[in-house]
Structure 1
Amino acid sequence: MSAKEFHMTGAAALVIAHCAGMLDLVALPVWVGALVERFGFSPQQAGMMATLFLLGAVAASAFAAPLFARLNQKALAVLGFAVASATFLAASTQTSLTMLSLLHLVAGISVGIALSMVHGTMGHAANPHRLFAAAGMALGLFGIVLLAAIPQLLILRGGPVLFQVFAGVMAIAAISSALLFRNPPRQVEHARTPFSRATWYTIFGISIMTFNQSMVFSFVEVIGKARGFEPSNVLAVLIALGFVNFLVPAPLATFLQTRVSAPLMAQIGPGIQAVLAVIVTSATVFPLWAPAAAVFVAVQIFTHTFVFGLLAKLDPTGRAAAATPAMLMVGAALAPIIGGALGQNFGFAALGATAVAVSIVSIGFFTKAKAESTAFTPSLAS
């Protein structure tokens, strides 16, 4: 099939699967918060379980991405989401740290494999930047529903409902993938070509940026309540965050696609993220804290849309795009447990200081990537 036909027939499945696979990006605050408040785990233990989920996804994606062109993408996407659904359903029946930790790891592995197939296939679309932006917009809408519904369901039905909702999300992704997913056209001639230095620097830059994203966002709800803000106000900020994610980053990234340099946007993103992280982790006045928390995730979504489109150009085989879960989650995997340890032992302001240092490293990698792109493939730097 042509690239245009592939894009039209498979886009819906890819967008739905992206929302399910990127569940952690929008659900981490209520996820970690529920593990602390509803299951009685410490912030560090809750962070560890989120970390195990993310580590499983990283390992699975790192294994599957290099093999992307030789795999049956649809079959693995369906299988991965189906196994994740069953695993989360099992988690809803458990309360022990050991069993929940193991199930988080298994779910992460399953999601990582499925999401690698989804993102690698997105990389073969007619316009990967625009498709990823559309998926980001859908993720914002998904986040609105999730962040509004889960806290209320937790009040009504207790902690297990968190994992029941996750199981349902994964089941929907498995069904839609089975019905609508289309494997991309085979392009194996360059499948074993090593990544360029620009590709690697871009991968490192976005991976490090996601460390900040996950470290701070995982504890937004906990930080808000620790600052003495009313729980209803904190919930309102999380819902507003979902609306911001839906209305701002993806449409703005689509509008700016041909108007600004993708490498430049990648350089700017981590700096803005660091400023917001300092406000979110240090502000004690709600009118200052709330806007920063509400737009925090949008910066990551906006920046990564440009990075995804850039990687699709740098590596036309789809392998770099298929490694997107590993890029997003390798930093995020370590962040919840590190963030929990920092917050528990040094106070949440320590997360902001760490975010500034990490953002400098991320900007450095994006700067190197821009230099390599300009030197060897000038068209990619614009």
Structure 2
Amino acid sequence: MKLGIMGVAALLVAHVAGMLDLVALPVWVGALRDRFGFSLQQAGALPTLFLLGAVLASVLFAARVNRLSHKLVATLGFAVAAAAFLAASTQTGFGVLAVLHVVAGVAVGSGLSMVHGAIGRSQNPHRLFAMAGICLGIFAVVFLGAVPQLLIAFGGAAMFVCFGALMAVAAVTSLLFFPKTDLVEMPSQLPPLSRPVWFLIFGISLMTFNQAMVFSFVEVIGGVRGFPVESVLAVLIAMGLVNLVFPAPLAIFLEKRVSAYRVVLVGPMVQAALALVVTMVTVLPVWAPSAAVFVAVQIFTHTFAFGLLARIDRTGRAVSATPAMLMIGAALGPFIGGALSQNFGFPALGIAAVVVAAVSCFFFAQSKART
């Protein structure tokens, strides 16, 4: 499927909006704890509800991706998410915020499934997904540099206003420029996804779980360790810069030079090593660089995994389910991370990350062996 410049731009904007959690989790959890007064477990639970809603929607829509209007679903999805987040900016109670997080998650998951389905049907899914990663890095620099300052100036509601504004922009660009994707005639009963595809999905989901479990509490860990607030904010900004200049451009450069399976096997190991440093080290010069590059490992590894899925599964269902495989892990990560850190301390996050990484490597190895 050929995409025009504006069509590509619409997909990139929608990808950034849909992948908001990958950038915003530490600020999200930190604001819910510090600005709204929720416990660590409650602060982790609200993003978890958002992500669970996105998973549910992605699973439902991915199975029907070839029979739906991508443009219509994406536009409506991001518009509803914008309304839900703007409504959240007027609330402070846990119960109402929980409902609005679920609504926003369902809306984002439906729209993002259409976006990733369109990317998967492009001429070079690996390259376009990497370009989306670059745009996410640009957004991360702006978001992590500006939103913490807005929270200081205007309070917790500012975060939800920013979320709503981003979703509104994605809705408008989807309405105006989303590329035309012809509906594909598929048999009413498609064969089940192959075992290599399922193993890749499991491996990606576990990596995402690790990323969310640790990344959600980076800001909190920095504060508990006694690091200056300015240093922790600088780490978040550096994280955005690293995500911009390192993982996606490197994935484009190495697309034909490195085996994708080698990348997905090594990725969880590097992620686990960094998780140990982030959760256990108390020296800022060692902690800060590890925290700054932590998310980049996930972005780099998943770019290769996305390309593998697009090649192995020609029906498009697997890549359309990307939000589900990313967000099922991300949904559980903040909640379980909050429970572990609240009851056993932050080092428990690092130990858990090593165990999960080992299982992720096992699934990736099984996918390669069965292909």
What is the identity, as a one-letter code, of the residue corresponding to 2:51?
L
Q: Paired residue for 1:80, among 77, 80, 97?
A: 77
How many aligned residue pairs are there? 370
What is the identity, as a one-letter code, of the residue corresponding to 2:99?
L
2:136 corresponding residue in structure 1: 139
Q: Does residue 1:166 correspond to 2:158, yes or no? A: no
- Displacement of 1:183 in angstroms is 3.2
CA contact (8 A) 1:47 1:339 kept: yes
**Partner Cα separation in structure 1 for residue 187 and residue 258 of structure 2:** 29
**Partner Cα separation in structure 2 for residue 309 and residue 10 of structure 1:** 20
2:255 corresponding residue in structure 1: 257
1:186 corresponding residue in structure 2: 183
CA contact (8 A) 2:137 2:242 kept: yes
**Partner Cα separation in structure 1 for residue 184 and residue 77 of structure 2:** 23
**Partner Cα separation in structure 2 for residue 281 and residue 190 of structure 1:** 49
- Displacement of 1:333 in angstroms is 0.7
Q: Paired residue for 1:336, among 325, 334, 337?
A: 334
- Displacement of 1:187 in angstroms is 3.1
Q: How does 1:121-140 map to 2 (within 5 A)?
A: 121-140=118-137
Q: How does 1:1-382 map to 2 (within 5 A)?
A: 3-4=1-2, 6=3, 8-189=5-186, 192-373=190-371
CA contact (8 A) 1:7 1:125 kept: no
Structure 1: unaligned runs, 5 residues or longer: 374-382
**Partner Cα separation in structure 2 for residue 216 and residue 179 of structure 1:** 37
**Partner Cα separation in structure 1 for residue 192 and residue 7 of structure 2:** 28
CA contact (8 A) 2:69 2:183 kept: no
CA contact (8 A) 2:222 2:232 kept: yes
CA contact (8 A) 1:30 1:151 kept: yes
Q: Structure 1 residues 190 and 144, CA, compared in 2 at 3 Å: closer, same or farther?
A: farther
What is the identity, as a one-letter code, of the residue corresponding to 1:31?
W
**Partner Cα separation in structure 2 for residue 327 and residue 68 of structure 1:** 16
**Partner Cα separation in structure 2 for residue 308 and residue 122 of structure 1:** 10
4+ residue runs over 4 A deviation:
none
The superposition leaves residues 114-138 of structure 1 with CA deviations (integer Å, 9 ceiling, x where unpaired) of: 0000001100000000000000000
CA contact (8 A) 2:67 2:184 kept: no
**Partner Cα separation in structure 2 for residue 185 and residue 372 of structure 1:** 32
- Displacement of 1:188 in angstroms is 2.8
The superposition leaves residues 126-174 of structure 1 with CA deviations (integer Å, 9 ceiling, x where unpaired) of: 0000000000000001001001111110111111000000000000000
The superposition leaves residues 180-238 of structure 1 with CA deviations (integer Å, 9 ceiling, x where unpaired) of: 10132333346823211111110111011100000000000000110000010000000
Q: Structure 1 residues 201 and 318, CA, compared in 2 at 3 Å: closer, same or farther?
A: same
What is the identity, as a one-letter code, of the residue corresponding to 1:63?
L
CA contact (8 A) 2:66 2:186 kept: no
C-alpha RMSD of matched pairs (Å): 1.0
**Partner Cα separation in structure 2 for residue 15 and residue 329 of structure 1:** 18
CA contact (8 A) 2:268 2:360 kept: yes
**Partner Cα separation in structure 2 for residue 183 and residue 159 of structure 1:** 38
CA contact (8 A) 2:53 2:109 kept: yes
**Partner Cα separation in structure 2 for residue 10 and residue 321 of structure 1:** 18
Which secondary structure does the structure 2 equivalent of 1:183 belong to? coil
**Partner Cα separation in structure 2 for residue 359 and residue 285 of structure 1:** 24
- Displacement of 1:264 in angstroms is 1.2
What is the identity, as a one-letter code, of the residue corresponding to 1:117?
M
CA contact (8 A) 1:223 1:281 kept: yes
**Partner Cα separation in structure 2 for residue 13 and residue 149 of structure 1:** 23
Identity of aligned residues (%): 62
The superposition leaves residues 57-93 of structure 1 with CA deviations (integer Å, 9 ceiling, x where unpaired) of: 0011011101100111110000000000000000000
Using the size of structure 2 for normalisation, the TM-score is: 0.98
